[in-house]
A and B are shown apart, each in its own frame.
Chain A
Amino acid sequence: MKKTLFDKVWDKHVVQQIDQGPDVLFIDRHMVHEVTSPVAFLGLKNRNIKVMFPEKTFATADHNTPTVNQHLPVKDPLSAKQLDALEKNAAEHDISFWGLGHEKNGIVHVVGPEYGITVPGATIVCGDSHTSTHGAFGAIAFGIGTSEVEMVLSTQCILQPKPKKMRITINGDLQKGVGPKDVALFIIAQLTTSGATGYFVEYAGEVFKNMTMEGRMTVCNLSIEMGARGGMIAPDEKTFHYIKDREFTPKGDAWNKAMDYWQELYTDEGAEFDKELFFDGKEIEPMITFGTNPGMGIGISKNIPTVDTIEGGTATYQKSLSYMGYNEGESMIGKDIDFVFIGSCTNGRIEDFRAFTEIVKGRKKAENVTAWLVPGSHKVEEAIKEEGLLDILQASGFELREPGCSACLAMNDDKVPTGKYAVSTSNRNFEGRQGPGSRTLLASPIMAAAAAVTGKVTDPRTLMNS
């Protein structure tokens, strides 16, 4: 029987198949954060049970944390209470906890790979939809709800129907100025935000093969934005090299044993998918969104689609444009902006800061722009300093904040005010996502950098050295 990469990992983790029901799926790694876990821990308390496998459970604080003055007590009492609850729950259940101020603290989907918690062939869940990030390593990783968090805490399993399988293949060289974020936004624009609902996606082809691990993480991270349960890429030498010798990666004999399994993790020739899509890498442009979901993106040289070309409901489309203050048929180039946000589990890694810095180097931050530069973790923050990027950023008028989810979902004080425009490297441009009434333009780190130094939406290719 020829199997896909997804089949191989899934089938290895099925404890039991319920007749006419879902599979009981064993979970290798469970990541926990402060927002979606307290009610699950409360459920355990009410049932008087302990976490079954504390050593497979990892807790970090990220969604609710401030990105300035992290050494001081958290001001918002509700946030403080939630952070405190996670710390207490982790202690009570013997779970490793990387809270505020801990050297390993950072966004859950950034620190997981950094410390080798994320490995190929694993099943990884977290009460966060962007758990799909870890699929970059050839893991089955997906977001779950709080009831499911409680299931995993108490039994290390969840009940899941096996999703359908989709493969997206992109070959061909990417153009100058086109990176992983553009590839992902391009795919989502083609499929819409519901085009992959019910599917688990495998990304294949030269474009993904040539990407760095950070780039693969950006792509897999955004799988959920087209509705997919998750996305994954077959592990290769690049993957094994990345994870080797990280703190939680298997060592010695355990590594060899794991490698025996990992080296089988590819889709067999002739294995079947429920759906296959092919795109040409050469056709992808630097992307930017103009609407209120991540599927509403265009190449920077294109105009906002006119209502008559829209497949879905026109009322919804018009409501979206009206919220953004845009008209059909307009170009995005030259649009006013107020904020730039670089960070999040989508683009808060060192490579993203390198790309951003490359564009702003020797230029100045535009006066009309408020820029929030938020590293995904302390490790990223350290690398920004060690590589000398911070000096360049500061010379250009930028400051670096402390790690966390920050303005991606604006649970802390990093909120874009009503009516203001933000070019963001994050993952969602929903109404009010970055603060009540905020307007978000999703883009790559270099598109964000170009906006930050010109004060408006700008094609980043015009600022790149040839």
Chain B
Amino acid sequence: MAYDKFNILNSTAVPLPIENVDTDQIIPARFLKATERVGFGDNLFRDWRYNSDDSPKEDFVLNNDTYSGKILVGGKNFGSGSSREHAAWAIYDYGFRCVVSSFFADIFRNNCLNIGVLPVQVSPAFLEEIFAAISQDPNTTLTVNLPLQQISIDANAKAENFDINPYKKENMTNGFDDIDYLLNIKEEVSAFSKTTPL
């Protein structure tokens, strides 16, 4: 599915300094019943965000007007657990284009890259710097520069480089997805399939 190209993102950020945020928290299983990719943003962090009577939980960061932006900053081991791509969809549909953490779970990272959310892995120390900067000034902005593979805190110009696979970087900057690539090599796949032992 096509997504908006990602180049340089400058935005305020929403802090979620909790470790091991699993995909069941990002979107609980009971909201996975759709047959189309619509409405997932409404249920992002559903049970942390709303009480059982659907009233908002005031102490949760998404219900706090002080914080907003297109960047979500989470604690270590973000996106663990279930492979549900719905978690990445919920993050994208809510309006985030980038998730920053000191560590990502594998499947979640892949899912993000496949749908146009950029996972930016920073050092634990830099993650603390970001949390501190947001805590000091919720309007502080971060710049995520994909071509340079650099994330910076604009207020103090502190910056760090991040890794991304060159192929995936090319896809993100152009809004391509892997299926286009694979469809182009279908003949090669067909020939290969005749050589497999199973």
Contacts and interface: CB of A to CB of B under 8 A. Distances in A.
Contact of A194 (B17, B20, B192): B20
B35 interface: yes
Nearest to A84: B35
Interface stretch (A155-163, A178-186, A275-283): A155-163
Given A197-B106, A227-B105, A21 B168 contact: yes
A109 to B, nearest CB: 13
B65 interface: no
A312 B197 contact: no
The winner among A20, A38, A428, A432 for most chain B CB atoms within 10 A is: A432
A431 B24 contact: yes
A294 B107 CA distance: 17
A194 B105 contact: yes
B19 A26 contact: no
Specify the main secondary structure of chain A where it touches its partner: loop
Interface stretch (B79-87, B140-148, B152-160): B79-87
B114 interface: yes
Given A18-B167, A194-B105, A411-B33, A227 B182 contact: no
Contacts of B183: 47, 49, 154-155
B24 A147 contact: no
Interface residues of A, number: 79
Contacts of B111: 145-147
B152 to A, nearest CB: 25
A43 B182 CA distance: 14
Contacts of A381: none
Nearest to B111: A145
A395 interface: no
A155 B33 contact: no
19 contacts: A15-B189, A16-B185, A18-B167, A39-B36, A52-B186, A52-B190, A121-B197, A127-B83, A129-B81, A143-B83, A144-B110, A146-B85, A157-B182, A193-B80, A194-B20, A227-B80, A293-B80, A316-B75, A437-B52
Given A42-B37, A224-B107, A313-B19, 7 more contacts: A13-B196, A15-B188, A26-B192, A35-B32, A36-B84, A42-B35, A430-B24
